[in-house]
Amino acid sequence: MNDGWLEKVDPHANLVVGRLRLDAFGIAGSPDALWVNTARFVSGDLERVDPRTLRVVATLGQTGVGDPVFAAGAVWLADAAVRRPSITVQHADPLGGQLRDDRTVGLPPGRFTLIGPHVPSPVLGVGDGAIWTGTDDSGAIVRIQLPTS
């Protein structure tokens, strides 16, 4: 991502070989797609991009701010509330399903890092069979077990 452009680079020649104009906040990769969250300071969309053609092939609806991750065959996002210490974790089937709110997890009182006008910055990680979430300064990390089937 570079100034609103998603760029495809030939690793052997170290040259940009394709570009897509997309105002991206966060990006994740899966075996056959790039998942781009276009939310920056307000809600945006989760775009599925074909990495071969650099074309948007699906739009999966409104998201909150945050970087997507790909795990257990699904794309995952987190959205933090402004005036309540909680995070909603969403996921979507990569074959075009809608985003679904999976779980809202409470966080202990703490500071939220603001990335825009009153928007806390949620973070996601993947490891040990789970999604891990929190915010930059909340002082808490929450483990959400990934589905096994």
Q: How confident is the model over 87-127, as pLDDT tens digits?
A: 777 777 766 666 666 667 666 555 444 455 555 567 788 88
- CA separation for the pair 6, 19 (Å, rounded): 6
Q: Which domain holds residue 28?
A: 5-145
* Strand 74-80, strand 69-71: pairing: antiparallel
Token pair, residue 8, equals 């495809």
Beta-bridge mates of residue 8: 18
Q: For the domain that residue 123 is a member of, what is the CATH number? A: 2.130.10.10
Q: State CA 75 to chain mean position distance.
A: 8
Token pair, residue 56, equals 């948007």
Whole-model pTM: value is: 0.77
In the block, residue with structure tokens 């808490």: 140
Determine phi and psi for 125, rounding to 5 degrees: -140, 165
pLDDT at position 51: 93
- CA separation for the pair 57, 19 (Å, rounded): 15
pLDDT at position 121: 66
* Strand 100-106, strand 130-135: pairing: unpaired
